[in-house]
């Protein structure tokens, strides 16, 4: 007969392992905001203190909790992941408040007000470790907590306070706050910009309101919004809508930099997964496509309800997703369609070098199935120059031009175009005075009208035709 034994976990070791689940500061706070949204909050105030000790506090005006509800909310795994959720419930595992908080601090205090009654409970990891028990504290001294006075003024609401923040570097706390602002503006942009639930959500960090950041730049006239596709899966509907963002020539430098995000355009391309209007994952192809520069303007919005989590492999932090094979099949088809369209802003511009109505300085030379960029030796200015040189000078010039072509810095050009296209000032290499001087020297050669007509088709004189009329 088998002998059964109850083997309890070492709570001290368990809690330290639980802290390393992988939350970043901003992702942990987004998890708290999910709870506030589920509680139908309209206003969320975030307040931080860096001196003498770091403290984070967040107050919402949601439904609030009674004492028994608060105790249950402080329980780990307070809800089953298989439990049916309401439409606005952004949670799943019942861990969010606790694991998100423990990942950043060793002391979590939650105060909640409902029916004019204020309840308070606290987890202190040092006390849990000391007694090796899940001792939920009823604090009797919390009058100095930030935002407590604001909570007292509300009819209902909840205040979350983190103390003993040991995962943040104290001297860099302002950097965490700046990253938090960007993260919240993106992740909750739909709640901040629309009132499809019951009111527009307002979030402020240290008295500064968060402005929504829509990653699709959908209001810009040059943004291409492709028709939404509906995918039926297990009785639910998934909505997929691709976007192609404007080429940088259609944007101001400020807008171009803003929509590049901190990661840049190449890393920001791909799928943007929304669950119940909350952005979970962004800037990924889930291994179905390689991120390349030609597709950097492609972003695909996916909307799923909160009853398909298991088919998307959403993790406890709501920052990782692994779509199931039946979903990937549709996504591959959509990728093929949208990336072909998404490359057009670049391939179309690339074809300008082959424009037969212009006399280009550069041309594309095919090499079997490959190609290279080459200087156009039929350019009128080159022909004028070569006619003035002796044979030795011609040979030296042609060797120089071949070297110029062979060592064209393509990687550096590509990198700079991707990172800072507005900072490239290639046109400054040739001044208007130099164009006029060149025109005068060419006219002094007594060239024919046919040669002049050919020169007027070149890039250098195309916009300055008057120089040959003087």
Question: For 281-301, how does the pLDDT look when each residue is reduced to its tens digit (9 = 90+)?
Answer: 999 999 999 998 889 999 999
User: C-alpha angle 352/353/357, rounded to 5°?
Assistant: 75
Mean pLDDT (whole number) for 255-281: 91
182 pLDDT band, cuts 50/70/90, is very high
Q: What is the per-residue pLDDT for 13?
A: 82
Q: Which residues contact 202 (CB under 8 A, 6 or more apart)?
A: 42, 43, 44, 192, 209
Average pLDDT of the chain, as a whole number: 85
User: Which one is predicted more confidently, 95 or 380?
Assistant: 380
Mean pLDDT (whole number) for 352-365: 73
Q: What is the pLDDT of residues 2-29, one digit of tens each?
A: 677 777 777 888 888 888 878 899 999 9
pLDDT at 90 over 60: no
- Torsion, Cα 257 263 266 267, to 10 degrees, reads -150
- Residue 275 DSSP code: E
Q: What is the per-residue pLDDT for 205?
A: 97
How far, in Å, CA of 421 to CA of 414, rounded? 10
pLDDT at 415 over 80: no
User: C-alpha angle 73/150/77, rounded to 5°?
Assistant: 10
Q: What is the pLDDT of residues 66-81, one digit of tens each?
A: 999 999 999 986 554 5
Contact 216, 241 (CB under 8 A): no
How far, in Å, CA of 179 to CA of 169, rounded? 14
Q: What is the per-residue pLDDT for 93?
A: 42
Q: What is the pLDDT of residues 123-168, one digit of tens each?
A: 999 999 999 889 999 998 888 899 999 999 999 999 999 999 998 8
260-274, 316-330, 352-366, 430-444 — most confident range: 260-274
Q: What count of other Cβ atoms lies within 10 Å of the Cβ of residue 244?
A: 23
366 pLDDT band, cuts 50/70/90, is confident
pLDDT at 94 over 50: no
Q: What is the per-residue pLDDT for 310?
A: 77
pLDDT at 351 over 60: no
Which long-range CB contacts under 8 A does 202-210 form with residues at least 24 apart? 202/42, 202/43, 202/44, 203/33, 203/44, 203/46, 204/44, 204/45, 204/46, 205/46, 205/48, 205/177, 205/180, 205/181, 206/46, 206/47, 206/48, 206/177, 208/181, 210/181, 210/184, 210/185
pLDDT at 341 over 90: no
Q: What is the pLDDT of residues 199-215, one digit of tens each?
A: 789 999 999 999 999 99
Mean pLDDT (whole number) for 349-364: 69
Q: Go through the domains of the chain in sequence order and give each one's CATH number.
A: 11-209 (3.30.565.10), 224-348 (3.30.230), 355-468 (no CATH)
User: Which one is predicted more confidently, 108 or 383?
Assistant: 108
**Prediction pTM value:** 0.76
């Amino acid at each position: 007969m088998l002998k059964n034994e109850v083997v309890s976990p070492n709570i001290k070791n368990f809690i330290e392992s639980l802290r390393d689940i992988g939350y970043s500061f901003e992702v942990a706070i987004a998890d708290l905001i999910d709870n506030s949204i589920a509680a139908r909050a309209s206003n969320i105030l975030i307040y931080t203190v860096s001196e003498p000790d770091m403290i984070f506090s967040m107050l919402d005006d949601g439904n609030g909790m009674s004492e028994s509800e608060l105790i249950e909310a402080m329980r780990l795994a307070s809800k089953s992941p298989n439990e049916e959720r309401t439409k606005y419930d952004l949670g799943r595992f019942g861990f969010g408040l606790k694991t998100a908080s423990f990942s950043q601090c060793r002391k979590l205090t939650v105060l909640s007000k409902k029916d004019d009654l204020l309840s308070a409970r606290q987890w202190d990891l040092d006390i849990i470790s000391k007694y090796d028990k899940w001792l939920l504290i009823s604090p009797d001294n919390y009058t100095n907590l930030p935002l407590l006075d604001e909570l007292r003024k509300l009819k209902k609401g909840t205040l979350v306070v983190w103390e003993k923040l040991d995962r943040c570097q104290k001297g860099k706390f302002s950097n965490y706050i700046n990253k938090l602002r960007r993260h919240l503006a993106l992740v909750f942009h739909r709640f901040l910009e629309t009132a499809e639930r019951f009111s527009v959500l307002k979030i402020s960090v240290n008295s500064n309101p968060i402005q929504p950041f829509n990653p699709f730049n959908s209001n810009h006239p040059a943004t291409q919004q492709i028709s939404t596709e509906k995918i039926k899966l297990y009785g639910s509907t998934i909505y997929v809508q691709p976007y192609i963002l404007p080429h940088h020539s259609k944007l101001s430098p400020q807008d171009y930099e803003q929509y590049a995000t901190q990661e840049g355009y190449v890393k920001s391309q791909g799928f943007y997964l929304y669950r119940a209007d909350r952005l979970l994952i962004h800037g990924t192809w889930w291994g179905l496509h390689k991120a390349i520069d030609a597709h950097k303007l492609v972003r695909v919005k996916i909307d799923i309800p909160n009853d398909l989590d298991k088919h998307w492999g959403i993790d406890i932090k709501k920052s990782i997703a692994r779509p199931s094979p039946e979903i990937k099949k549709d996504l591959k088809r959509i990728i093929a369609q949208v990336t072909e369209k998404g490359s057009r802003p670049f391939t179309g511009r690339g074809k300008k070098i082959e424009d037969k109505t212009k006399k280009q300085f550069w041309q594309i030379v095919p090499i079997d199935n490959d190609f290279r960029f080459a200087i156009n030796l039929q350019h009128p200015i080159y022909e004028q120059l070569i006619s003035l040189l002796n044979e030795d000078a011609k040979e030296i010039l042609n060797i120089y031009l071949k070297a110029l072509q062979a060592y064209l810095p393509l990687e550096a050009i590509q990198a700079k175009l991707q990172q800072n296209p507005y900072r490239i000032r290639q046109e400054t290499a040739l001044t208007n005075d130099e164009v006029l001087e060149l025109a005068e020297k060419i006219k002094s050669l007594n060239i024919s009208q046919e040669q002049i007509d050919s020169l007027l088709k070149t890039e250098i004189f195309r916009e300055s035709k008057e120089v040959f009329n003087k």
